[in-house]
Structure 1
């Protein structure tokens, strides 16, 4: 089994030789993890989109509300609350990240500007600003602005002159047909075949995490996802010989992560 990086007092929801899933509050669990124990962090934190509005999904009008985890209070979330939330979890992630490690954070216009500011305030240096361009975004129902078709992924390292982050330039060039890979990545939303074990409202497609993991980690390194949702980070980490720690407050989503990891290991 992989080394337990979290305090022995924290029970594991699921464990294999390559992965550990932990059910609970990320803030509390991150506090109980060993300092500088992980090589890379991918985080897809709450976007705070749950404002009782509507959107289009599979041709149907549906609520934008994701769940209680997407709100900080019953009355919604203020700018100050959002920024305080982002600074807090980023600060905790910095503690567990190795000096040469990196962090990737995905977001939309609703939270990514706060995250960019929080990263700099908490002692990180942004390496890249990745634009993920979706080829099949949901239509804009209000017809009063342009269709939202992109998300931003910030890649950052500790703002320390001694920090030497890993970047597999040759692999990215190879994956891009022999040309330097640019910071605009184009692809579809998550395929239905990746949601067979259960659905998550903001599930990322596997190809996105594959690229992130191959670009910034080496085999055997430890990857942490503090808001792991349905476990895409874990699936791709284990698939490519990395070790994975996933944390989520929802047992429903933790069960999806568990099923996806079990399926991957059974198919090996």
Structure 2
């Protein structure tokens, strides 16, 4: 894989991390070389608001990377990275995009405008979501994950039997043994041990990414996360025998990623 224009921040067998704008990383990769992408782009929520954490009122501001630049610029950014993802995906490759109502509709429109074919929208229900402190809205207790394929004419990977017959009920109270997996998943936020090396404000639980990786890839496939954060996608991918490339603009979160990767056994 030709990534000679960029120097890895970290490498190990089956995985590489880059401290780079995701668009630069994706543009340096060969076309039609990636099997699956999971993307958790900024939700643009850092606007001075507040939320509840551990029973206390705390700021929602996560950092400059999560600040909105206005609808037009935010949407243009989504168009840019989605177009870059489309170029590197194989025809049968798929893209998963996670977001709240602040961002997911813009991403969905950008996906369809770019020619992606939407397969599902997953409702990730969070049974341990924090309460709404203002008393002016319904308590936000889910995120939406869009699953889309690059080409409507190609046969994408979906490990149906694994999703139907796997022992998922231990983590997901909605999944019934031996029944088709539905599009509402009940999975708690990351557990304390998943944040042992540091916290990322939008970190996804390993149970969520394990499911996505096992549903839509095969051993040896290449998985990319353009907003890798603390690399939950990469941990899931490498743990299940897939290859992984991730990028993030924050060295702080990449350092957390490195610690997490270093705990994994070599394959």
CA distance in 2, matches of 1:6, 1:12: 12
Is 1:37 the equivalent of 2:9?
no
Aligned residues: 258
8 A Cα contact 2:52 2:130, kept in partner: yes
- Structure 2 counterpart of 1:181: 181
The reply to whether residue 94 of structure 1 matches residue 94 of structure 2 is no
Q: Which runs of 4+ in 1 moved over 6 A?
A: none
Distance 1:234 1:130 in 2: 20
1:5-16 counterparts in 2 under 5 A? 5-16=1-12
Report what 2:62 is aligned to. Answer: 66
8 Å CA contact 1:6, 1:29 repeated in 2: no
Equivalent in the alignment of 2:161: 170
After superposition, the C-alpha distances for 1:167-186 in whole angstroms (9 at most, x for unaligned) are 00000001241000100000
Question: Which sections of structure 2, spanning at least 5 residues, go unmatched?
Answer: 167-174
After superposition, the C-alpha distances for 1:101-159 in whole angstroms (9 at most, x for unaligned) are: 10000000000000110000001000000000000111101000100001000000013
Distance 1:248 1:116, change over 3 A: same
Pick aligned residue for 2:112 from 117, 120, 140? 120
C-alpha separation in 2, matches of 1:7 and 1:223? 15
Aligned mates of 2:145, 2:70 — CA distance in 1: 23
Residue 135 (str. 1) matches residue 127 (str. 2): yes
Q: Secondary structure at the match of 2:118?
A: strand
> TM-score, normalization: structure 2?
0.94
| 1:110 equivalent in structure 2 | 102
User: Which runs of 5 or more structure 1 residues have no equivalent in the other structure?
Assistant: none
Mapped to 1, the partners of 2:43 and 2:104 lie a distance apart of 8
How much has 1:6 moved relative to structure 2? 4.3
Could you tell me how far apart the structure 1 residues matched to 2:160 and 2:3 are? Answer: 36
Distance 1:246 1:78 in 2: 27
Over the aligned positions, Cα root-mean-square deviation in angstroms equals 1.1
